[in-house]
Amino acid sequence: MSKRVTKVAILGGGNGGISAAVDLKEKGFSTSLYELPAYFSNLAAIKEKGGALLHDGKKEDRFVPIDLVTDDIQEAIKDAQIIMVVVPGFAVEAFTEVLAPVVDEDQLIFFNGAAAVSCVRFANKAKEMGIKKNFKMSEVNSLTYGTRAFPTEARVEISLRVHKLFLAGYPKEVTGEALELVSQIYDGMVEAKNIWHTTLENGNPVVHPGPCLMNAGRIDYSKGEFWLYREGITEHTINILHAIESEQMAIGAAFGFEIEDATQCRARRGYLANEVDDLQYQFNTSEVFTQIKGPTSCTARYFTEDISTGLVLWSDLGKVANVPTPNIDAVITLGGSLLQMDFRKIGLTLEKLGFGGKSLEQIIAEV
């Protein structure tokens, strides 16, 4: 049995990070909440009040204290068995720069969010910095919450504590230990085969970029009053979703995984009522999804992050696995034209990850 978890350091002051700091404190763990100095002012109200008001629909709203709110990384991670990094994919390297020099090798780094091969990127960045440590890392395929945080109001609204997530260790030999540790703070953790498994089980690149691209005019016109799951998932836009999904599942099969389809993964995580009813109907009526507003602009993460760190990498994985990805490639191209961005240049590729020119077998063996 792994050590007992008593403290969790949460890095990242967004929706997921604030929610985790409050939720895990209420579960009985000591929690610290860290944000980079450049953005720490966003947490001013939470620091001043010493915590946040939690609304989760299960009982009356209540104020939950957070033990420490800080921009001092050493203070934040001191005595923590788990260091949970809850940041967007584009911020992985920035957080590596502050964490890698000070983390102890026996502390578990846990990337909690939409999978973006964060463990590999952390290791690569640390190596580039000249840091030689045997990091113990893990990541899941998706965030452990359906949630929204309002830092200026020191308030959190958790609509879902996710029921099932895939977790992979990196290197893969630490998966068992990582699973034991993370399972002390979250239910529903299932062992993934490796980092590629969690990467391909990330549902966001399936659901967000294609349907959002089809709704770009409406998003512009709405000036912030757009609800993807209520109005943007229609009998036609869902066909784009399913086209992306079929290519995702084919890539997964080539890597040796049976990827859950768009309905299965969301129902098993708790977002949808069941695995039987029509997916469009369930999106349009989900008690969780229908409360999620946005994207409020075409430059939001549903476009930029889910194409650059999601579909671009999937396209590369398709090439090495000899799986055609015409729909994924179309969304990358049209999304780039829409935003005047070269996603293949700025996005996450096998070359950037250090796997350029390697075979499918080599890519699988090295994680």
Residue 264, domain member (yes or no)? yes
Neighbours of 242 (CB within 10 A): 14
User: Do residues 255 and 359 both lie within one domain?
Assistant: yes
Say which CATH number the domain at 306 has.
1.10.1040.10
User: Do residues 137 and 149 both lie within one domain?
Assistant: yes
Q: Which of 144, 165, 200 is the last residue before a domain boundary?
A: 200
Q: What percent of the chain has pLDDT over 90?
A: 98
Contact 282, 226 (CB under 8 A): no
User: Do residues 213 and 325 both lie within one domain?
Assistant: yes
pLDDT of residue 58: 79
User: Do residues 109 and 171 both lie within one domain?
Assistant: yes
User: Do residues 80 and 113 both lie within one domain?
Assistant: yes
User: Do residues 134 and 168 both lie within one domain?
Assistant: yes
Residue 150, domain member (yes or no)? yes
**pLDDT tens digits for range 116-150:** 999 999 999 999 999 999 999 999 999 999 999 99
**3-class SS at 354?**
coil
Residue 174, domain member (yes or no)? yes
Checking if the pLDDT of 1 tops 90, the result is no
**pLDDT tens digits for range 207-248:** 999 999 999 999 999 999 999 999 999 999 999 999 999 999
Residue 342, domain member (yes or no)? yes
**pLDDT tens digits for range 327-356:** 999 999 999 999 999 999 999 999 999 999
pLDDT of residue 57: 84
User: What six digits make up the tokens of 70?
Assistant: 């800080």
Residue 180, domain member (yes or no)? yes
Q: What percent of the chain has pLDDT over 70?
A: 99
Checking if the pLDDT of 254 tops 80, the result is yes
Residue 276, domain member (yes or no)? yes
Say which CATH number the domain at 30 has.
3.40.50.720
Total structural domains within the chain: 2
Residue 1, domain member (yes or no)? no
CA distances to 140, 145, 309 from 56, in Å: 23, 11, 30
User: Do residues 186 and 216 both lie within one domain?
Assistant: no
Checking if the pLDDT of 159 tops 70, the result is yes
CA distance 215 to 220: 9
Cα dihedral: 176, 245, 162, 275 (round 10): -110
User: Do residues 317 and 292 both lie within one domain?
Assistant: yes
**pLDDT tens digits for range 66-103:** 999 999 999 999 999 999 999 999 999 999 999 999 99
Checking if the pLDDT of 316 tops 60, the result is yes
Contact 307, 335 (CB under 8 A): yes
Q: Which of 149, 184, 200 is the last residue before a domain boundary?
A: 200
Q: Which of 181, 200, 219 is the last residue before a domain boundary?
A: 200
User: Do residues 209 and 244 both lie within one domain?
Assistant: yes
Where in the sequence is the domain holding 123, given as residue range(s)?
A: 7-200
User: Do residues 340 and 209 both lie within one domain?
Assistant: yes
Predicted TM-score (pTM) of the model is: 0.96
User: Do residues 231 and 219 both lie within one domain?
Assistant: yes
Residue 2, domain member (yes or no)? no
User: What six digits make up the tokens of 346?
Assistant: 């700025």
User: Do residues 15 and 107 both lie within one domain?
Assistant: yes
